[in-house]
């Protein structure tokens, strides 16, 4: 029966071993950075949604405020015109 050679069966030269260690460290740093960026992106997406909700709320408040101001001005005009104060 034929046995296949695996990576564990291969003995690396000292230089290749150093390179392997350096590559593993670099890979781990990149993995850590990717995870941090993913977490930051998730937080930014949540913040964008929060900001959009806040903007929507402010637009509704502004619309209501303008309507109320118009109602007040109309009422003042009605009251003053009835008293001859316009």
Q: Does residue 5 fall inside a structural domain?
A: no
Domain that holds residue 30: 13-82
Q: Does residue 43 fall inside a structural domain?
A: yes
Q: Does residue 2 fall inside a structural domain?
A: no
Would you write out the chain's pLDDT as a tens digit for each of its 86 residues? 677 777 777 888 889 889 999 999 999 999 999 999 999 999 999 999 999 999 999 999 999 999 999 999 999 999 999 766 55
Q: Does residue 61 fall inside a structural domain?
A: yes
Q: Does residue 1 fall inside a structural domain?
A: no
Number of domains comprising the chain: 1
Range 62-70 contact pairs with CB under 8 angstroms and sequence separation of 24 or more: none
Q: Does residue 7 fall inside a structural domain?
A: no
Q: Does residue 6 fall inside a structural domain?
A: no
Q: Please give the Cα distance from 37 to 54 (Å, whole number).
A: 25
Q: Does residue 52 fall inside a structural domain?
A: yes
């Amino acid at each position: 029966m034929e046995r296949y050679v695996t990576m564990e069966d291969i003995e690396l030269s000292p230089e290749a071993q150093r390179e392997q260690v350096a590559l593993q460290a670099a890979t781990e740093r990149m993995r850590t950075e990717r995870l941090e960026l993913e977490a930051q992106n998730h937080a930014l997406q949540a913040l964008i949604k929060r900001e959009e909700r806040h903007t929507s709320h402010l637009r509704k408040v502004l619309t209501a405020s303008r309507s109320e101001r118009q109602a007040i001005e109309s009422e003042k005009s009605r009251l003053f015109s009835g008293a001859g104060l316009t």
